[in-house]
Amino acid sequence: MIETRNKIDPNFNTASMSDLVFLLLIFFMLTSTLISPNAIKILLPKSSSGQTMAKQNVTVSIDTNYQYFVENQPTPEAELQTTITNYISNIKDGTVKLHADKTVPVQYVVTVIDAVNKINASTGQKHKVILATEAKE
């Protein structure tokens, strides 16, 4: 009787499958952490007027720790006016979009408005500040 040397093993080898699943898991974990690394966590106040602005020249954010961010860059309060000026100095009648968390006291919002008003007084421009809100459901 002639026997074959290569016998077919009916068992399934799961080693390569587990390697593939592990690599996919690592890939998705890494890509999910890279989605928005510079996002500032802010809960915007709600508003029933659904107006949108066509163009905002600079975005200022105030988070729950009362820290200022100009275009997602941390900015001390003392440098707020200078930093905003750098963004809107060459723009006539620019718009500053203000993202303030709904828990932030009004004084921090007024500080940003004062900074823009001082820029307007020194340059003779008419830059304006708009407050970003979420739509009411």
Distance CA 75, CA 72 (A): 9
| Domain assignment of residue 4, yes or no | no
Domain containing 88: what range? Answer: 46-135
**More confident position, 20 or 4:** 20
Domain count, the chain: 1
Return the higher-pLDDT residue of 59 and 5: 59
Separation of alpha carbons 136 and 19, rounded Å:
47
Examine residue 41 and state whether it is found in any structural domain, yes or no.
Answer: no
Q: Which whole number is the average pLDDT over 12-18?
A: 78
- Number of other residues whose CB lies within 10 A of the CB of residue 88: 19
* Residue 125 placed within a domain: yes
Tally Cβ neighbours within 10 Å of residue 128.
Answer: 14
123 found inside a domain: yes
Evaluate the CA torsion angle 133, 36, 54, 56 in order and state its sign. positive
Q: What is the CATH number of the domain that holds 98?
A: 3.30.420.270
62 inside domain: yes
Q: Does the predicted model carry a pTM greater than 0.75?
A: no
Are 95 and 55 a contacting pair, CB within 8 Å?
Answer: yes
